[in-house]
Amino acid sequence: MSETHKATVRAKESLKIAAQQLRWFRFSMVELLVALGLLFFFLPFTQEFEAGTYIESILLSIVLLSAVFAVAGRRRALTIAILLAIPTLAARWTNHFRPDLVPPEAFLVGGLLVFIFVVWHILHFVLRAPSVTTEVLCASISAYVILGLIWTIAYWLVDEIVPNAFAFTSGVREPMRGFNAFYFSFVTLSTVGYGDITPVARVARMLAALEAMTGLLYVAVLIARLVSLYSPRKSNDS
Q: What are phi and psi of 165, to 5 degrees?
A: -75, -20
pLDDT tens, position by position, for the chain (238 residues)? 455 555 555 545 554 554 454 444 444 688 888 889 988 888 888 777 777 788 888 989 999 988 888 887 777 888 888 899 999 999 999 988 888 899 999 999 999 999 999 999 888 888 887 877 778 888 889 999 999 999 999 999 999 999 889 998 877 778 888 889 999 999 999 888 788 899 999 999 999 999 999 999 998 888 888 777 766 555 555 5
Q: What are phi and psi of 200, to 5 degrees?
A: -105, -50
Q: Give me the pLDDT at residue 22, please.
A: 47
pLDDT in tens, 52-96: 788 888 989 999 988 888 887 777 888 888 899 999 999 999 988
Residue ranges of alpha helices (H) inside the chain are: 3-46, 52-69, 75-97, 104-127, 134-161, 179-189, 202-237
Q: Give me the pLDDT at residue 211, please.
A: 94
Give the separation between CA 223 and CA 234, rounded to whole angstroms.
16
Q: Are 199 and 207 in contact (CB under 8 A)?
A: yes
* Topology at the third CATH level for domain 3-237: Helix Hairpins (1.10.287)
Q: What is the pTM of this model?
A: 0.82
Q: Give me the pLDDT at residue 5, please.
A: 57
Q: Quote the DSSP letter at residue 204.
A: H
Domains of the chain, residue spans: 3-237
Q: Are 163 and 199 in contact (CB under 8 A)?
A: no
Q: Give me the pLDDT at residue 208, please.
A: 94
